[in-house]
Structure formats: C-alpha cells, structure tokens
Amino acid sequence: MGKLPPPFILRSVVNGGSHLSNCHSFSSSSNTIATHIEALSKKPMSMPVRGKGKRDHRFDNVDDALILFNKMIEKYPKPSIVEFNKLLGAIVRMKHYAIVVSMYRRIELLGVSHDVYSLSILINCFCQLGRIDFGFSLLGKMLKLGVEPDVVTFSTLINGFCNQDKIFEAVSIFDEMTERGYQPNLIVYSTMLKGLCKTGNTCRAVRFLRLMESRGFEPDIVAYNTILDCLCKNGLLKEALDLFSEVKDKGIRPDIFTYNCLIHGMCNFGQQEEATTLLNEMVDNNISLDIVTYNILIDALCKEGTISKAVEIVDTMRKQGIEPNVATYNKLVDAHCKEGMVSEAEDIVDAMIKRGIEPNVVTHNALINGHCLQNEMDKAGRLFNLMIEKGCAPNIVTYSTMINGYYKAKRLDEAMELFHEISQKGPIPNTVTYSTVETVDTMRKQGIEPNVVTYSTLVDAHCKEGMVSEAEDIVVAMIKRGIEPNVVTLNALINGHCLQNKMDKARRLFNLMIEKGCARDIVTYNTMINGYCKGKRLDEAMELFHEISRKGPIPDTVTYNTLMQGHIEEALELFQAMRNRGLGLDIVPYTILIDGLCKAGHIEVAKELFHQLSDNGLKPDVYAYCIMINGLCKEGLPDEAYRLFGRMGDNDCLPNSCCYNVMIRGFLCNSYASKATQLLTEMVGKGFSADIFTVTLFMDLIVHSNKSILL
C-alpha cells in the first residue's frame, strides 16, 4: 500500500484550499455541524472529465469535508463519534479512503472513543486500499476495546477477503458471523457467491445458493448471474440452462448479463443453435444488445472463419450507436492474421488508432503472429521492438510466438537468445514456450543441427517444469543424432527425477553416467544428496557423502548445508567436519543447525550455539532470529522469546514481518492473547501484515474463546 497521508496534510490541504473562506459559514453548534454533514453526504458527485482542467464536484466535496473536519476537531467540547461517523461515511462514499484513515488517526489523538460504526468504516477503508490484513487486525482491536462487531463489520471483511481471492478466510469469517448469531444479509450472500465462483468453487457456490434459499433469502438476478457465468465458463451448459429455466419459473426477469454469459458459453462450446435461440429470446424480451453481446458474436463468427459476417456485425453495431472497443478490433485483427490477411489486419489497427483506441498487448501479439505465420520475421522483430518502445510490455504469448517463428525460419540463435532472456528475466516460460522450442525436429529437417548446449537448455527447462518424460525424449533424440549428453544434460535430468521424488530413476541415471564415461561433478552429487534428504533416505545421502569424501569431488558448502538439513545427529558431525576442513563458516550453516536443533527439541543446545555466534564474529540475521524465537515459543518459553525479539535491534537487525508473525503466533499458542493483540497492533503500525497462519490462529481464538481474554 502506498504511504498514507499524515494528519498534518489534512490541515495543509484545508489551509491551501480554494474554499477557506467557507469556514465562516459553519456554525459551531452540534446541530449545525450535523446538518452540514447530512447535506455533504447527499451532494451529487460527478465523475472526473478527462482532459479538462476544471476540478469536478467530487474534489469540491472533499475540500468541503476537510474544512468541516478541521472545524469539528477545533470545537470544544468535541463532537461525539456519531457526528464524526457521518462525516467519515460521506468521504467513504466519495471513495477517498486514505483520507479517512488519516482522519481516524486524528480522531484517536483527540481522545474521542470509537464505536463499532467508526471501526467498521476504517476496516472498509483498509479493504478498499487492498490492505485486508490491516482491516483484519482491527477486528482484534475491536475485541480488545470491548466493542462487539456487527453484521457490517463481518460483511466488510468478507468482501475484502473475497476481493483478494482469499475464499478460505472469507468462509471462516462467514462461519464466525453466523456462530455469533448474526444473520447475513443478501449482500453478504451475494459477495460469498461471487468469491466462490471467482476462485473456481462452482459446486460449493451452487450449494451456497441453496443454503441461502433455505434460510429464507430469495436470490436476485445478480446472484443467479454469478452462478450462471461460473457454470458456463466451466462448460456445465446443461446445468446453466436448467438454472436459467428456474430463474424464469420464479418470475425473475433475466437481464443483459444473464443472456451474455449464456450466449458466450454456448458459442465457446460450439452450440450455435442454442446461442441463436437465446439471442432471439433476448430481442423478444426487449433487451438491447450491448458491446459485450456484439463482441461475443464477432468472436464466434471469426472462429468459424466467416470474417466477412463478423465485419458486417461491426457495421450493424455502429448503426445502433455502439462503437467498437479494443476487444472488438483485437478479434478482427487476430482472425485476419490467422487467415494470412496481415495487410488487412494492419489496416484495421490503423483504423482503430485513428478512432483514438490504442492497440494493447493482445493486438500486437496477433500482428506478430500474423507476420510469423508468413515467415516475415524481420517485420515481426520490428513490431516486437516497437511495442517495447511504446511501453507495451511483451508477455509470455509474445515471446512464445517470436521463438516459434525464429525456429521455423531457421534462425536458431535469435530463438535461443529470446528463450534465455525470459528464463533469466521473465516472464516465466510456460508449457507453450517449451512446446515451441521442441521444433528442433523441424530445424534438423531444414539443415540446422542444435548442439549439446541447446539440448541441455531444453532438458533443464522441461525438468524444472515437471515435464521429465518430455525431457527424456529430448535426450533420446539428441543421442540418435549422434550428440552425446554431457554432465550438464544428465545433471538436469537427474534433478528432474529428484524434484518428483523418483530417486530410484535418478540413481539409475547416476550409475549410468559412469558406465557411459561421463564424470560426475559436485553438482551431480549435491543434487542426489538433496533428493535423498528430501525423500527421508538419509542413509543413502550419507553413503554418497562418504563416497565423495574418499574419492572426490571435494564437498562444498552446499553439500554440507544440504546434509545438515537432513538429520540433526549427522548435522552436528558435519558442522564439526566443516570446521576441521577449514571451510568458511558463515551464518548459513549455523542457522541450519540451530533450526534442526529447535525442531528436534534440543532448545538448550540451540540457545548455546546461537549465543556462540557473536564469539565467532558473526551477527544473527533476521532469519536466524526468527528460527530461535520460533523454537523458544514452541518449547513454551514465550517470555524468553519476546526478550530475544526485543534485543534484535542491539545487533542492528530490526524485526521484519516474519519475526512479528512468529512472535504473535508464539503468544497465541501459549495463551498470551492480550500480548498477541498488542503486538499485532504494533506490527500493523510498522506497515507489516498478518500472514495466513496468524490470521487462522486469531480466527480460532475468536471462534472458540471468550472475547474477554483479549481485553
């Protein structure tokens, strides 16, 4: 979240505003202030007009609100929180959430006690600003202050969690709300439905709809549309049509969105007759087609290959007074390019620019693909560079299209250059990219033979994506072409098997290396040792370690650190072996060993090793502190953990979000609820967030405990 405006900005805005003279128009009486607030909240607000210098009514209202707030805080005795709530609510309706947060701080400093309404308003502001974690922490503060949350509080948090796709947390809040005896309203149910559908929980959403009905709430068309859209997107067209019939049987009038999502679903799954029936029904019900409907139809026609009909639809749109948008043009550009009509596609792009519509990444991708399909790679390359110059960032589709085009044009170096670029800097390569680079078969047929570096790069990329079978096919192909896999190739393949915990396959390949005369290096051994440790096959990991200790290659820091993470007894021996070998011991091996000791319950040994850090000229980093604090808390020593937490600054190491969360969870798990709440408030004040584990513990506390323990 961006930095919130400090309280003094409010005064400077007022003093520098153009409405300062209006201050005299406000009476000092409470009744007059209330009247002004009521009038302010009812003032009409117009949206900003782009390209005009004149300020809109929204900003005028904010100026008035700031002036009034300044007047209220200078009044004595101070207005009640009820009066402040009216003003805060008015500003929230103007969507100036950060200003409300700053005002809230000023109100606190005045000593005015907050109530459930003011705290709920603040929770809403944090949610709207994308800081649901701050909003959730306020729920703990409410309980600490003895303020009972109401249905608005819970509804606001549910909406905030759903907006961030945190459906698990939203469900927890919903359950807590009903357990406390609050009856969710239609808005809450609709929000939950939207959240479940947005996160792909279609079946749960339908069950939730039935739950809603069983509790006496009749869903409106918005709720039904949410479910219908989700069913259509998941290809459950029969279920969608059944629900649509149910809607009509209940006398609920479908709207434009209802028909759009159904028509789109039918078109996407090739059910054109059903789509036409729905379109006719829509017209019969006097529901006018909008831009979305037209785009759905244009997309369907383009996919059928009837581009001329799609163009006719665009003409019809214009006659109806509906201007095509960027999505409309993109569908036409893509269709023309796929049909080899790149020149016509470029004309469409020129036309959209003349109409003031800027091409986006989808437009550029379609054109680039068109040039690639025509083997016009120089033109595609120029367009690729041009979109970057214009500030339009290429995405993975752009890169995949270019790589595929270069391969087919026998321009291997340029293809691999782009592949290395996205491997190092992003965007993250996907299956399409890796499938694209498999066009080496086409390259070979055209006389371009990839070398071992090319093959090794492809093998490594496939393995890291979990596509080990495809990686093996590439190795087989390179061997057939007379190119022997080297240690890099085989290390990549071994790593792929290890990542999938297929250690027996990894071992067979490991043994095969010697048979084929391919010397194993330290990376090979480290990969195998790491795989064995993660698979809890510590004896085999130690066997390999002893092998390289006797024969080589020389174990490095990675080898020791990997093994130390595998088993605590061996870790102590390895730690001493590192010292004996004269390997530089930095904070990493100490941290690994301390972590292992804590997990094994050897807290006293861990504490001793932690305190030895300074004796060896090392300073604990934030990760080491987190591990030690967590270990102490798990051993039931939260007071000692908190003392260590407080001393972090002595080593120039300030607590981060992880440390705060670990300490708060330690308090909660040891029944120090009040301290946990205080530390949560401190953490939020420093700009850190409660993570999902901390949030879950607080939720359990709220659900299963008396709120009095938080006081």
Domain residue extents for the chain: 612-710
pLDDT in tens, 619-643: 888 888 998 999 999 889 999 999 9
* DSSP structure class, residue 673: H
Identify the weakest region by mean pLDDT among 119-128, 334-343, 350-359, 600-609.
600-609
| CATH 1.20.120.1200 applies to domain 612-710 | no
Average pLDDT on 81-93 reads 86
Would you state the structure tokens that stand for residue 159, as one six-digit string?
Answer: 């909406």
- Maximum average pLDDT range among 176-180, 449-453, 595-599, 659-663: 659-663
Alpha helices in 339-391 (DSSP H): 342-354, 361-373, 377-389
DSSP codes joined into one string, 230-251:
HHHHTT-HHHHHHHHHHHHHTT
Rounded to 5°, the CA angle 108-149-677 comes to: 60
pLDDT for res 670: 87
Contact 436, 407 (CB under 8 A): yes
The C-alpha atoms of residue 628 and residue 641 are separated, in whole angstroms, by 8
430 pLDDT higher than 90: no
pLDDT for res 21: 31
pLDDT for res 61: 65
Would you state the structure tokens that stand for residue 518, as one six-digit string?
Answer: 């391919």
Average pLDDT on 364-393 reads 93
Alpha helices in 199-306 (DSSP H): 202-214, 221-233, 237-249, 256-268, 272-284, 291-304
**How confident is residue 582, by pLDDT bands cut at 50, 70 and 90?**
low
pLDDT in tens, 513-546: 888 888 889 899 989 988 888 887 877 877 887 7
The C-alpha atoms of residue 88 and residue 119 are separated, in whole angstroms, by 11
- What's the chain's Rg over C-alpha atoms? 32
The percentage of residues in the chain with a pLDDT greater than 70, rounded to a whole number, is 81
Rounded to 5°, the CA angle 589-594-598 comes to: 150
State the Cα torsion 498-501-504-505 to the nearest 10°: -60
pLDDT for res 229: 92
- Which burial class, exposed, middle or buried, applies to 202 when counting CB atoms under 10 A from its CB (0-12, 13-18, 19+)? middle
pLDDT for res 290: 92
Of 498, 493, 451, 499, nearest to 475 by C-alpha is: 493
The C-alpha atoms of residue 147 and residue 672 are separated, in whole angstroms, by 20
